Structure formats: structure tokens, C-alpha cells
Amino acid sequence: MKKNALLLLLLLIFSCDKEQHDLTVKVNIKDLKKGNVYLKKVNDSTLITVDSLIISGNSEFELHSALESPEMFYLYLDKNDNVERKVSFFADNGITEINTSLKNFEIDCKIVGSEQQKILEEYQKVQSRFNGQNLDLIKENYDAQIEGDTVKSLALKEQNNNLIKRKYLYTVNFAMNHKDSEVSPYLALTQIYDANVKWLDTINNSLTPKVKASKYGKELQRFIDDIKNENTAK
């Protein structure tokens, strides 16, 4: 009986000594020998560092942060060579794993973690296609202007405007279809913040109570309230 009590006491002491974290980010950067890494997030419109490490020989490491609700984080690698290396990810409580390489920091990046990250990647895949089409139209319009083809240039501008509308509508529909995810208000705030307030309101009204109470849910409500107050004052 005494042995069991002593064992329990030792386990309690050990668990108390081991610091608990809301978020643990396990990172592996292939071929990294030296550098500084920073875990950052946006707080009151300012990008702040929540954890950092000096890397010397070990390409595998952990970073940690407190976390009240799911939100975006940013992993920066600084090798003092004037090259910005950054990856973003949507984190929730628990462990997020990031595997990448020094040579292709952004391209090789693979992130395994929250359900919100999976949803965000689903959205980003479609957005990359919209962005590709947009770049094609910009190039075609540039060529038309060089050639002095005004009719073609105007037609391409109209196509681009329609593409932007489709992109906005897709974002609204995606957000509403994921009303139970914190990704929904985040997309409203970052991708279509300049859309008609009725669309932002539509997304906001569709959110579940849990998402409304999250960081981005509260920010979206404040953002909409500010727009409405400005419109009323005019």
C-alpha cells in the first residue's frame, strides 16, 4: 500500500514538473544545421513571437504556445541571408507536425494537425486554380494592350471581373458549408473583407455558437458592426 502511494506521488511530481502546452508544434527541416526559428501569430493586428529557438545541429525541434481557440500561426526560419522563409498553418489544441526542407521551405512543406488545417487546404486548392486563371487573364490583357487591341483588352477585363465574382461567391459558399469551423470567419476576414456587408452578414449568421465565440468569430462580428456603424454615420 505504501509502495503504491509512493509511486503515485512520484508520478504526480513528474507530471507537475513537465510543463503542459495547449499547442505543440513538432518541426523537421531537412538539411537545417543552423538558424533561428520563430513561432508567430497575429495579436491585435500585430504579428508577435510566441516561441523561438536557436538551431545548432538538430533539424528536429518543438515550439509551443498557449491557445484559447483555433487560429492561424506562422513558422519563420531566419538564416541571416535576407531570404524570407515562412509557412502558415491553422492550429488547434494538441500537436501539429510540420515537415519540410531547407532548400524548398514553402514548396516541400507538409502539415499534419488540426481539422481546421485540412479544411483550409481544401479551400486553398480551389483558390490556387482561381489565381492561376487570374494570372493568365492578366498576361493576355497585357499582350492585348501591347498590340493595341482595345476590344480584346476590354473583353479580358470583363472576364477577370467575372472571375473575381466567382471567387467571392465560392468563398461565401465554402464558408457557409463549413459554418462549424473557425476557418469560416477567418476566410470572411481575410479573403472577402471588402465584399458587400450582406455577404459577411450571411456567413456570420450561419456560424454555430461555438465558432461565433471563437477568436475569429468575435473579430468578424466586430468587423461587421464597425461597417454598419460607418454606413449609419454617413
Residue 125 has pLDDT above 80, yes or no: yes
Q: Which amino acid is at 81?
A: D
What's the confidence (pLDDT) of residue 151? 85
Residue 157 and residue 223 in one domain: yes
Strand 34-43: give its sheet, edge to edge. Answer: 46-56, 34-43, 71-78, 85-91
Indicate the Cα dihedral angle 213, 215, 219, 222, nearest 10°: 40
What's the confidence (pLDDT) of residue 4? 57
Q: How many of the other CB atoms lie within 10 Å of CB of 227?
A: 15
Domain membership flag for residue 10: no
Residue 139 and residue 64 in one domain: no
Query: Which of 92, 113, 134 is at the close of a domain?
Result: 113
Residue 14 has pLDDT above 50, yes or no: no
What's the confidence (pLDDT) of residue 132? 87
Domain membership flag for residue 15: no
DSSP one-letter string for 44-102: TTEEEEEEEEEEES-SEEEEEE--SS-EEEEEEEE-SSS--EEEEEEE-SEEEEEEEES
Residue 229 and residue 125 in one domain: yes
Residues 72, 88: Cα–Cα separation, whole Å: 7
Domain membership flag for residue 2: no
HSE, side-chain direction, 13 A CA sphere, residue 14: 6
Query: Which of 113, 134, 156 is at the close of a domain?
Result: 113
Residue 87 and residue 150 in one domain: no
Mean pLDDT throughout 19-26? 89
Angle between helices 197-206 and 183-190 (to 10 degrees): 170
CATH of the domain at 84: 2.60.40.1120
**Exposed/middle/buried for 214, CB within 10 Å: 0-12, 13-18, 19+?**
buried
Instruction: Give the Cα-Cα-Cα angle 122, 126, 129 (nearest 5 degrees).
Output: 145
Residue 124 and residue 190 in one domain: yes
Which pairing describes strands 94-101 and 60-65: parallel, antiparallel, or unpaired? unpaired
Residue 156 and residue 215 in one domain: yes
From 80, 59, 203, select the one nearest 223 (Cα to Cα): 203
What's the confidence (pLDDT) of residue 96? 97
**Domain count across the chain:** 2
Domain membership flag for residue 8: no
What's the confidence (pLDDT) of residue 159? 87
Domain boundaries, position 40: 21-113
DSSP code, position 41: E
Domain membership flag for residue 155: yes
Q: Is 23 helix (H, G, I), strand (E, B) or coil?
A: strand
Mean pLDDT throughout 165-185? 95
What's the confidence (pLDDT) of residue 17? 46
What's the confidence (pLDDT) of residue 15? 47
What's the confidence (pLDDT) of residue 3? 54
Domain membership flag for residue 16: no
Residue 62 and residue 124 in one domain: no
Domain membership flag for residue 211: yes
Residue 162 and residue 227 in one domain: yes
Residue 9 has pLDDT above 70, yes or no: no
What's the confidence (pLDDT) of residue 147? 85
Residue 27 and residue 52 in one domain: yes
Query: Which of 89, 113, 137 is at the close of a domain?
Result: 113
Can you say whether the dihedral through the CA atoms of 143, 149, 153, 155 is positive or negative? negative
What's the confidence (pLDDT) of residue 99? 96
Mean pLDDT throughout 159-181? 93
Residue 29 and residue 108 in one domain: yes
